[in-house]
Structure 1
Amino acid sequence: MIIGCTGNYRKEEYYTILEKVYAIFTKSDVKLLISDDLKKNDKFQIPDNYSLVTFDTLAKNIDLLLAIGGDG
């Protein structure tokens, strides 16, 4: 299964949740693709092991989308 992950990169909580999600899915047989919106936040050090793709690529290649954050 391929899960895509995107979220509100402007919110600090997104990064904490993303790290936890990544840790959970890497222990299973799930491939996690992450939207490259992360690159828009130059304060966040993107781990080398994150598989970043454009949102269009994400949408075309995943079985399930996990959206983190939002307006509340």
Structure 2
Amino acid sequence: MLEMVRSSASLFFQGKLFAEPLKAYTQLALGILIAAIVLVAAREGGLALVPAAALAGFIAGALQPYLFRNLRYR
């Protein structure tokens, strides 16, 4: 299992994991942007930093399957 993670990470950083790397990076950036917006909104709403970060992480993590559903791998 650890070898699979290591191999996938290596391919990702070499730019060889996805058939369309630009689309993958765009979707990744969109997920990060959504997490940042949720974090700032939660902080402005009066939530403490740790619960706000947990909420933002949960929402961004839940969106990943939706964002990456049409990506093709090599």
Q: Which has the higher contact order (CA 8 A, sep 6+)?
A: 1
Instruction: Compute the TM-score of the two structures, normalised by the length of structure 1.
Output: 0.34
TM-score (norm 2): 0.33
Larger helix percent:
2
Greater per-residue strand proportion: 1
